[in-house]
Amino acid sequence: MKPLYLVIGALLIAVAWHVARDERHPRRWASGAFWALLALLFVGGDALGPHAAGAIAVALAALAGAGRVVRGPAREEPAAQRAESAARLGHRLFGPALAIPAATVLLVLALKRATWDGRPLLEPQIQTLWALALACLLAGGLALRLTRRGPADGVHAARDLLEAIGWAGVLPLMLAALGAVFAAAGVGDLLARGVSAVIPVQSAFACVAAYAVGMALFTMLMGNAFAAFPVMTAGVGLPLLVRLHGADPASMVAIGMLSGYCGTLLTPMAANFNIVPAALLELKDPHAVIRAQAPTGIVLLAVNVMLMYVIVFR
Amino acid sequence: MNPWPLLGVALVVAGFALRLNPLMVVVAAGLATGLFAGLSPDEVLRLLGEGVLRNRYLLLFVLTLPVIGVLERSGLREHAQATIAKLRAVTAGRLLIAYLALRQALSMLGLTNIAGHAQTVRPLIAPMAEAAAERATGPLPPSTRQRLLGLVAGTDNVGLFFGEDVFVAFGAVLLMQGFLESNGIVVEPIRIALWGLPTAIAAFAIHGFRLWRLDARLQREAEAERAAADEAETQR
């Protein structure tokens, strides 16, 4: 992953540089420092070590918390010019945009087969990430050729979009770090004990509801169903449903995990799915995506409780 | 067992409820939770830093921004809108149902990164849904437009979440299988994946039903807005 992090870091450095030099930017030094510190995590994170990375995380949070990370003046091209260019380039504009997904798929398939010295060239977990990154570089080249622009235009365009997203783009990273602290502090075990202490364990339906709804609530708190799963399954699912009531484990965990995903639809803690898109679409309400998802998430959770009750005791 | 780390969870909930800056809330809660658990400040910082460094891949979406940005400056959104505006059969609701089906089907095949908020929603689907809605109802009131765009992003999430778990090689399926195995229960990953299907179908039905009613809702909201505007006009 190291080379990819260097590319991301280089892009972030360029963004920080342009922000800091922009005299019309209301907070050019603080905002520039924010992107520069983030770049440092990618370029020098491994060399600096976890201590320094933790300190950088605190500095990023302080800058954002003080309201110093704001958007500079966007330099979009005038609407008339964009319309003219859209008419001239037509459907060819879709080419580079669709090249990202298309090339990602082809590269995933190619990287699966690629071996070096009898071993896979890349480990399976990171093949897709590499494929996506390489597809972006390829599509970037196509886009620049099609629009007859230079790499500097790419940096400027990226800067406008990144500043529109702002600190929200870093939130997923910090939430993942918070998850690590929660795990080390045993927060999950504490919550699972609380759940099993308050439900009537003799009722199979109450146990099903506690497991499914507990997965959703836990996921809302932790922001991640994967973090909630081992805790809830070890604390409620296995002892109460499988051992006490004889539930089928395979279907129980499958529907349990998906109940967690219903929680993901409902929480600002799942920032990369719920908060970043709202920023990316430049919505006024940061919780607009959660509001739109809430009816689906809540109804689906109720359906999951029913499905689990019917399926695991079949 | 030391119950104090639970205060960290309470801090997160309180911080979000008070609408403080989420980035600050999350990092402060991380520091507080670690300290409540009896770790030294040094250890907490290291734990936080390890979490950050291990999850840097979450910012991979940054690499899509130069591509999308350059294309947008050359009129990608305008062209996406113009293309949809010509297709009379395409309404916002139908477009989103088709996108939901496509996203869910691709996720079931393991192709999760093929679409996403940065790759497809912002440059293509969002402007298309907006253009389709405006062709049917005329200009959208700002609040309706915000709700529509929120729903577009939400549709991407629903399609992704309730498709990927049906793919056998997806991390979550292997996580579940590994967890059961470490607790002495051996099951085939394919059984876990297949039991994800009933929920996947229910997700499509529930969200699809909401999208199917979307066009009528947009129409209603736009008419209510116009009526309110006329009212204000006559009163003046």
Which residues numbered 179-238 in A keep a CB inside 8 Å of some CB on B? 179-182, 184-187, 189-191, 193, 221, 225-226, 229-230, 233-234, 238
Residues of chain B short of pLDDT 70, as ranges, are 1, 168-170, 236
Q: ipTM greater than 0.90, yes or no? A: no
Q: CA separation (Å) from A238 to A196, A248, A256, A261, B155?
A: 12, 10, 12, 20, 33
On chain A, the residues whose CB falls within 8 A of the CB of B2 are 186
pLDDT number for residue B143 = 92
Say whether residue B95 is in contact with chain A using an 8 A CB cutoff. no
B231/chain A closest Cα distance in angstroms = 27
Residue in B2, B45, B165 nearest the CB of A258: B165
Nearest to A174 among B27, B47, B195 (CB): B27
Which residue type sits at A130?
W
Whether residue A89 lies within 8 A of chain B, CB to CB, comes out as yes
Query: Nearest to residue B169, comparing CAs of B110, B105, B113, B102?
Result: B110
Tell me the Ramachandran region of residue A49: left when phi exceeds 0, alpha when psi lies from -120 to 50, beta otherwise: left
Mutate to test the interface with A, among B12, B52, B209 (most CBs of A within 10 A): B52
Answer yes or no: do A100 and B146 touch at CB < 8 A: no
Return the C-alpha torsion angle A292, A297, A299, A302, nearest 10.
Answer: -160
The predicted pLDDT at position A285 comes to: 92
Q: Could you tell me if B222 and B115 are in contact, meaning their C-beta atoms sit under 8 angstroms apart?
A: no
Pair A197, A236: CB distance under 8 Å: no
Buried b (16+ CB within 10 A) or exposed e, A77-95: eeeeebeebbeebeeebbe
**Sign of the alpha-carbon torsion through B84, B88, B93, B95:** negative
Give the separation between CA A169 and CA A177, rounded to whole angstroms: 14
Question: Which DSSP string do the residues of A95-143 spell out, in sequence order?
Answer: HHHHHHHHHHHHHHHHHHH-EETTEESS-HHHHHHHHHHHHHHHHHHHH
Which pLDDT does position B183 carry in this prediction? 87
Q: Which of B12, B54, B67 sits opposite A136 (nearest CB)?
A: B67
Q: How far apart are CA A42 and CA A13, in angstroms?
A: 10
Q: pLDDT tens per residue, chain A (314 residues)?
A: 788 999 999 999 999 999 999 889 889 999 999 999 999 999 998 999 999 999 999 999 999 999 888 888 877 778 888 888 888 998 898 889 888 878 888 888 888 888 887 787 877 767 778 888 999 999 999 999 999 998 989 999 999 889 988 888 898 888 888 888 888 888 877 877 887 788 888 899 999 999 999 999 989 988 888 888 888 898 889 989 999 999 999 999 999 999 999 999 999 988 889 999 999 999 999 999 999 999 999 999 999 999 999 999 98
How far CA A170 is from CA of A174, B74, B86, B97, in Å, comes to 7, 28, 39, 31
Find which of B62, B103, B177 to mutate to test the A interface (most A CBs within 10 Å of its CB). B62
- Percentage of residues of chain A with pLDDT beyond 90: 51
Chain A's closest residue to B179, CA to CA, is A230
Cα A303 to Cα A229, A240, B96, distances in angstroms: 19, 21, 22
Q: A10 to chain B: which residues are within 8 Å by CB?
A: none
Spans of all domains in chain A: 2-71+80-171, 186-312
Residue B85 burial (10 A CB sphere; 0-12, 13-18, 19+): middle
